[in-house]
Structure 1
Amino acid sequence: MTKFKHLAACLSLFAVLGTSHVGTAVAQDDRNTTVQDGIKVRPLSRLSKFVPAEQLNEAAAQQYAQMMSQAQQKGVLLPASHPEVQRLRAIAQRIIPHTARWNQEATQWQWQVNLIDSKDVNAFCMPGGRIGFFTGILNSLKLTDDEVAAVMGHEIAHALREHSREKMAKQGLTNMGARVGGALISGIFGIDPGITGTIANYGAQFAGLKFSRDDEREADLVGLDISSRAGYDPRAGIALWRKMAALGQRAPIELLSTHPGGETRIKEMEAHMNVLLPLYARAKGTTVAKLPPYRTNVTLR
């Protein structure tokens, strides 16, 4: 499963199309924050005009399809009839209608949700709405539906706010072009051994891609916004990251390596409950005052 883990680490944007104008665009990109729905966010990057969404999403779709095909061949892609797959897709079906408020292009995305049988404690959402979960994150953390929604919302939010595209452009990697995506797939799965060394170098760069604290903050809050509107308790986000921290103390987990944890992000979530809880209460047809305390299903020590 190491191959799948490495691939998932770089799924978000290894197909970005390069341009010689990216450096200028980064310098001119205005990232002043605005407040939307009570959440402070930065405008979507101006770099998007240099990375056509259609081409990006097409490349992401091809690579996602290849990953799922490889997983199926290895017998680790769980079928649509599997209860956990049905659970994930049902949660996504409730969340997706609320995504367009953060990125209008999401209405055109070809959403997909799949589950790979792996011990990796991880999940991802590629450009264009291709979602992947690993059974490890469901089993190790014993996630409730609300907590699954918090994870899913977080990963979807990264795609909605185009964090990967911006990050890759700022690192000057966009000149790799769409060909890198196909080459990376080939290298990881041994289709073309001749390119292994080159692709390993690219893979190391992609695997090292970490979102900034601002990106993580946006993903946390935007993710909880869309999950709250879908009727999932935003307090699950706090429980989720406390579970993550507890599990991480016993054994390092990949999701924590790319998603900085700590009490700071939990405090940010707590500080926005005055915005998030009314959304959840409204979705449930009640008021904040009548909401019961949130209870997770396990305590990690």
Structure 2
Amino acid sequence: MKKKLAAAWLGLLLCATPPALLAKDNARGAEDGVRVDEMSPLRNMVPEEELEAAAAQQYNELKQEAAKAQALAPPDHPQTQRLRAIAQRLIAQAPRWNQRAAQWNWEISLIGSKQVNAFCMPGGKIAFFSGLINNLKLTDDEVAVVMGHEMAHALREHSRERVAKSGLADAGAKIAGLGLSAIFGIDPNLTSAATGGVANLAMLKFSRNDETEADLVGLDIMARAGFDPRAGIALWQKMGMLEKSAPPQWLSTHPAGPARLAEIDKHLPSVMPLYAKAKGVAITSLPPYQTNVSGIPPVR
């Protein structure tokens, strides 16, 4: 019965949505850079304002618990300032992919944790874990790869689509639960009672297609912001080296491997002109990208 109601609801949404509006999503990036399919109409089953409000609540809970654990880096921390400077350049390119991003109250926080992880929740709520930066020795360009990828998930409304597909479109206040106990060692019973523990907007697992789209849109965003998209190749090579010893949590929700590297490499010709333009130089004059870890060759 619920499936029939959901199907009927979706049919009404599709009929009520003008074709021009659906096509508008696909227009992003059509003039240059990468091209992606239109966003799934399934996302319309979940009110964007409701999901963004839930995300903001979860994000605030994360910051509060991190502060209690003395794990929330202050605004004047060098790494926090570094992340925010990179984010500022990327955010300037965000409305190209989602016009609502211009009105989002973007935030970025640095959490002191050994976890190799980062995320961007609906509405532009970004968190980086120090383990990601320190274990991978991320350069600014590589930070931009990760941040651009996570921002792309929010801009392309993948969480909204996943929540709809999970049958939580009418969950309302049930959209909660950040899994704080796993991060800070909080009593799981207390966390569950406080949040409901129904959905985890920060740690949603996206489909392989969503991950590929986030890779490509992220590369487009960072290139326009003046960061070298070839850093994506070096980043995933670093990830591969780290995975051999202890698979990081980020990899558990972001499948890696030769196919992913090949997909990024395949689309570099689409984004390298954007990077050269942002730097104000001819593409032929760009030097190879060299990361800061031995064993990874320059990326040309």
- TM-score (normalizing by structure 2): 0.83
Shifted more, 164-173 versus 137-146: the winner is 164-173
| Aligned residue in 1 for 2:122 | 127
State the superposition RMSD in angstroms: 3.1
The one-letter code sitting in structure 2 at the alignment partner of 1:283 is A
The one-letter code sitting in structure 2 at the alignment partner of 1:67 is L
1:299 offset after TM fit, Å? Answer: 3.2
Q: Indicate if the aligned counterparts of 1:23 and 1:172 stay in contact, CA closer than 8 A.
A: no
Q: Distance in 1 between matches of 2:96 and 2:134?
A: 32
Q: Indicate if the aligned counterparts of 1:19 and 1:50 stay in contact, CA closer than 8 A.
A: no
- Whether 2:255 is the aligned partner of 1:233: answer no
Distance 1:117 1:287, change over 3 A: same
The one-letter code sitting in structure 1 at the alignment partner of 2:73 is L
| Aligned residue in 2 for 1:249 | 244
Distance 1:108 1:207, change over 3 A: closer
Distance 1:237 1:26, change over 3 A: farther
Q: Indicate if the aligned counterparts of 2:215 and 2:264 stay in contact, CA closer than 8 A.
A: yes
Q: Indicate if the aligned counterparts of 1:22 and 1:169 stay in contact, CA closer than 8 A.
A: no
Q: Distance in 2 between matches of 1:206 and 1:62?
A: 11
| Aligned residue in 1 for 2:110 | 115
Q: Distance in 2 between matches of 1:180 and 1:226?
A: 29
Q: Distance in 2 between matches of 1:73 and 1:291?
A: 46
Structure-to-structure mapping, 1:196-235, within 5 angstroms? 199=196, 202=198, 209-235=204-230
The one-letter code sitting in structure 2 at the alignment partner of 1:92 is A
Q: Indicate if the aligned counterparts of 1:47 and 1:166 stay in contact, CA closer than 8 A.
A: yes
1:158 offset after TM fit, Å? Answer: 0.4
| Aligned residue in 1 for 2:281 | 286
SS in 1 for 2:35: strand
Structure-to-structure mapping, 1:123-272, within 5 angstroms? 123-181=118-176, 184=177, 188=181, 189-190=186-187, 193=190, 199=196, 202=198, 209-272=204-267
Listed as ranges, the gaps of 5+ residues in structure 1 are: 1-17
**Aligned residue pair count:** 280
The one-letter code sitting in structure 1 at the alignment partner of 2:230 is R
Q: Identity rate of aligned residues, in percent? A: 52
- TM-score (normalizing by structure 1): 0.83
Q: Indicate if the aligned counterparts of 1:25 and 1:47 stay in contact, CA closer than 8 A.
A: no
Q: Indicate if the aligned counterparts of 1:233 and 1:294 stay in contact, CA closer than 8 A.
A: yes
Relative CO higher for 1 or 2, CA cutoff 8 Å, sep ≥ 6? 1
Q: Distance in 2 between matches of 1:298 and 1:282?
A: 28
- Whether 2:60 is the aligned partner of 1:68: answer no
Listed as ranges, the gaps of 5+ residues in structure 2 are: none
Correspondent of 2:292 among 287, 292, 297: 297
